Amino acid sequence: RKEVEQDPGPFNVPEGATVAFNCTYSNSASQSFFWYRQDCRKEPKLLMSVYSSGNEDGRFTAQLNRASQYISLLIRDSKLSDSATYLCVVNDFNKFYFGSGTKLNVKP
Amino acid sequence: SAVISQKPSRDICQRGTSLTIQCQVDSQVTMMFWYRQQPGQSLTLIATANQGSEATYESGFVIDKFPISRPNLTFSTLTVSNMSPEDSSIYLCSAGDRGETQYFGPGTRLLVL
């Protein structure tokens, strides 16, 4: 079983849509969680950390459900520039495990 | 946040040769890692680069094939040894402090002929 599992997509949405990605992780003792964004032919860049209380950064909201071992990312009012691959990342004792990524295409 | 540079940014190599990739961080960090990313796939952790001691390798990766050095808190190298076409990939260095966010270098694109 993979450490981190994500729906690979692609998610094809129109501009202005709301889209949500989920990610599940296998180790209940995992300590910290992140969403990264990776553009084509670029390195991953941190989008946001994910906290148990949930956190919001502009149009982006991340949630963590420890009981069910899943993490979510909600993007509101999608922009063309949001098109990218979104990677779910889990920290297990200072080893970072990446999901396979969910591809988002925002279309005009 | 840490700023990370890697070199070379890309290379084309002949099978059987070796390539050493350098990773430089602009500040001292506790953790440095090396990843591989095949086209269209996610990142696979190769090893954790430990300062002053041998790297910790993930399953499927061995020191003879991927020797790693980390002489101080800001620098690490990864060597891809005795290369074959299957080693063609993007190699990424990341760095961060224990339990904290990781930041990535721009990657090294390797093509083995």
| Bond into A10 cis (ω within 30) | yes
Contact residues on chain A for B45, CB-CB shorter than 8 A: 95-98
Average of per-residue pLDDT across A57-86: 95
Write the pLDDT tens digit of every residue in A27-39.
988 889 999 999 9
CB A104 within 8 A of CB A13: yes
Closest to B109 measured CA to CA, from B2, B13, B31: B13
The answer to whether the Cβ–Cβ distance between A94 and B107 falls below 8 Å is no
Tell me how close the Cα of B17 comes to any Cα of chain A, in angstroms: 25
Q: How many CB atoms lie within 10 A of CB B71?
A: 10
Tokens coding B81: 């040894």
Touching check for B105 and chain A: CB below 8 Å? yes
SS3 A59: coil
Which single residue is written with the structure tokens 């990264």? Answer: A36
pLDDT at B97 over 90: no
CB B32 within 8 A of CB B93: yes
Write the pLDDT tens digit of every residue in B28-51.
888 899 999 998 888 999 999 988
pLDDT at B2 over 90: no
Q: How many CB atoms lie within 10 A of CB A31?
A: 11
The answer to whether the Cβ–Cβ distance between B33 and A87 falls below 8 Å is no
Closest alpha carbon within chain B to A102: B42
Which single residue is written with the structure tokens 């910290």? Answer: A32
Average of per-residue pLDDT across B56-61: 94
